[in-house]
A = this chain, B = another copy of it.
Amino acid sequence: MNNKHNNEYQIVGKRPVRPDAFEKITGKALFGADFFLPGMLYGKVLRSPHAHARILNIDTDKASALPGVRAVVTGRDFPYLRPEGIGDMSRDNLALEKVLYHGHGVAAVAADSLAIAEAALLLIEVDYEVLPVVLSIEEAMKDKIILHDHLYTRSSAIKDPDTTPSNIYQREIEEIGDVAQGFAEADLVLEREFRTPMVHQGYIEPPACLAQWQSVGQSTIWTTTQGHFIIRQLVARMIEMEQSALRVIPTEIGGGFGGKTTPYCEALALMLSKLSGKPVKMTMTREETFRVAGPGAGTLSRIRIGATKSGKITAMDAWIAYESGAFPAAPLGGGMRSMFSSYQVPNQRIEGLAVVMNKPKIRAYRGPGASQATFGTETLLNEMAGKLNLDPIEFRLMNIARDGTNNLSGGTLKSINFEACLNAAKNSAHYQSSIGENTDTTGFGRAIAVGFWRNGGNVSSAEIHMNADGSASLVTGSSDLSGTRISLAMMAAEELQMPLEKIASRVGDTETIGFTSTSGGSRTINATGQAVVNATRDAIHQMKQRAASGWNVPVEEVTWQSGKAVCARLNEEMRAKDICKNAPNTGGPITGRDSLNVPPGVAPSLAVHICDVAVDKETGQTRLLRYTTVQDAGRAIHPDYVEGQLQGGAVQGIGWALNEEYVFDESGVLQNPGFLDYRIPLASDLPMIETVIVEVPNPLHPYGVRGVGESPIVPPLAAVASAISSAIMTPMTELPCSPPRVLKAIQTTGPETVS
């Protein structure tokens, strides 16, 4: 294990030019829609105009007869799979028995041009039996309208569950200590209900793929995805083929944030290619992306927290329900493992529910489940700090989780220093500054919030091929969501003690590198990073062996220094270039490799955010004045990218807090499926997001990396809402804090505190 300080590294911790930025800025990066094949067809999906309806019949004859139409598919053209797991995934791509949300695919067409494909969709006749819709957690929980006859309430704790059909398909209870006892010890108990809306990840690149079927041999899909191995596995199961019969090539990805982890059009395109005998390209429009491509779950929660007068939290209790959309998918585990896990509170209890309804099936969204769960916790803690007359950071320092804390995070926390993050926030120029004085028309507010994420581990593979000129080609299986390629190359360069320019870094497709889990959960630089370091050390060991063999000394006498094998005793050295050029004659070309499985949760990361707002009391509009993110990165391999993660996560959370929400009409039709009506933050809406990187090395990673992608989206919902609460002196418990809602809060009394 390598626990050097940053200044002991040559490359790690520096800020070299970002090669992926060049490709992207010059338009050369090839995204999902940038692939073309000779004779390629264009695929389009017919989507349901109803949010809930039984499909009685689909007549595709007229569409098939249209000149230029090469194939038409419905759900019946796919292998029949039971309605659960992979069968649900297939049904979500193309409905089989029922449509379950507005925009749900019912048929797909491949034609010579997009115009013909679109014309063909109009010729498909679908007979629907329209059913009533259910659009909210409360309504869904009543089970008056049942979406799936086969779903009932499962729980890991219940051996023989009641199998009466229910929209509540999962119910989990996690508890430590004795919550009742904890509340009995409390001097102050607060309880509130919180709501967060369904939101979209807002990635800029819509889902897109190109598929080429081969009846013998291997079919190929090019797709924009966070995990091409999983896409291969899922599509292969939907189409019932061997994994070896399908190659999935990941393209450059224009954002995913958890939303590009499962197939949307890949299986459809492949089936259309199979039936037409031609390659088929499918690109979702922005509107389709909003309507169909898995948004983040909305939630309803009730949280109760008790503390002593001196500020010691004695009990935390929550009930939280996640929207899952049309099929089971909610991030219950991620939410429950984050909700209270920043704190060392002996009595914690969470009851979590996941509920289906007639909305698009949700997918992961950055720190899945954690932002929604943390919104209530941190908002309530801010209110509590106010009532206890405690500085909100001091209040948290009194209760923060420490090494050895056992809470609902999924185990005992180790090698953490969360106080360091809180202290960095406390000592920041931002927190030390004063905020504006309220006027009649403007309220100023500041709040903080903390966010916990366990960070992912999981399976990664890496290889490094040494070239004859001493340069190297590094390959991993991790889709590059955020410039991870260069950070991985930096670790390889550090190990090889070579200039970074000599290391090419590539994402291998499913055929050219060992299995690697999906990029997500802040796992890549941690788990794939470890695989890269191990693979590079393997290559270095082989180079040392070759040199040792040439000098006729034991390999133990050879060290690796400045890109050279060195034998101090003989006063000999051999450059990587010479070893590699000669490698074919000393045992063959040199490749180092590793595959590993890093357990989850071993390197959690805390984020502390500070937010200053000004609220226009006449319009309810909130202006962000200053925003600081503090986070433990373990080690920032390339600080530019780490800062980018901290800023990007914060901004997504700010959008969630202020403006973003799916707006459905009463029939379940999404009213704002586009960036004009679904407002994500623009640069002009925001101050510069200030960043403070704390580095408490993860002892299980050779460079101490923890992972940084998820934590920054966890605190902003509470930080922004609490700052607004502070500015308008009224609790904000429902998101987004859009001008109408803030205005309404100003004009009415907020929900009453139970104490």
Contacts and interface: CB of A to CB of B under 8 A. Distances in A.
A504 B589 contact: no
A244 B471 CA distance: 6
A355 to B, nearest CB: 31
A233 interface: yes
Contacts of A472: 244
A510 B466 CA distance: 11
Interface stretch (A83-91, A214-222, A550-558, A559-567): A214-222
Contacts of A503: 244
A233 B596 CA distance: 32
Interface string A432-458: 000000000000000000000000001
A279 B28 contact: yes
Interface string A5-35: 0000000000001111011001110100010
A588 B214 CA distance: 30
A43 to B, nearest CB: 17
A641 to B, nearest CB: 15
A660 B514 CA distance: 48
Interface string A232-245: 01001000001111
B247 A589 contact: no
A502 B37 contact: no
Nearest to A17: B216
B243 A501 contact: no
B27 A39 contact: yes
Number of copies: 2
Given A501-B242, A511-B475, A511-B504, A589 B467 contact: no
A67 interface: no
A216 B27 contact: no
A218 B504 contact: yes
Nearest to A277: B26
A458 B468 CA distance: 15
A513 interface: yes
A508 interface: yes
Contacts of A596: 587-588
A479 interface: no
A585 interface: yes
A713 interface: no
A504 B37 contact: no
Contacts of A228: none
A588 B461 contact: yes
B212 A28 contact: yes
Interface in A452-496: 458-459, 461, 463, 465, 467-469, 471-473, 475
Given A37-B30, A214-B23, A471-B243, A511 B465 contact: yes
A593 to B, nearest CB: 6
B465 A19 contact: no
A469 B591 contact: no
Contact of A584 (B28, B245, B515): B515
Interface in A573-600: 583-585, 587-591, 593-597
A414 to B, nearest CB: 21
A310 interface: no
Given A212-B28, A277-B26, A514-B591, A469 B243 contact: yes
A80 interface: no
Contact of A19 (B34, B38, B214, B459): B214
A506 interface: yes
A581 B242 CA distance: 13
A506 B515 contact: no
A598 B245 CA distance: 31
A486 to B, nearest CB: 9
**Most chain B CB within a 10 A radius of its CB, from A233, A245, A513, A515:** A515
A86 to B, nearest CB: 13
A244 B467 contact: yes
Interface string A194-223: 000000000000000000101111100000
B588 A473 contact: no
Contacts of A20: 217
A664 interface: no
Contacts of A504: 218, 244-245, 247, 511
A675 interface: no
A236 B30 contact: no
Contacts of A17: 216
B595 A461 contact: no
Contacts of A243: 467-469, 471
A226 to B, nearest CB: 18
Given A216-B17, A216-B19, A242 B595 contact: no
A502 B242 contact: yes
A3 interface: no
A472 B18 CA distance: 35
Contacts of A589: 459, 461, 514-516, 595
A218 B28 contact: no
B467 A515 contact: yes
A595 B468 CA distance: 14
Nearest to A215: B22
Given A242-B501, A244-B473, A475-B511, 15 more contacts: A23-B217, A242-B469, A243-B467, A243-B468, A243-B469, A244-B504, A245-B471, A245-B501, A245-B504, A459-B588, A459-B589, A463-B512, A473-B512, A504-B511, A514-B589
Instruction: Identify the 6 closest CB pairs spanning chains A and B, nearest first.
Output: A19-B217, A244-B471, A512-B512, A588-B595, A515-B589, A244-B504
17 contacts: A19-B216, A30-B38, A34-B37, A36-B37, A242-B471, A242-B501, A242-B502, A459-B589, A461-B465, A465-B513, A465-B515, A473-B511, A508-B511, A515-B584, A515-B589, A516-B589, A587-B597
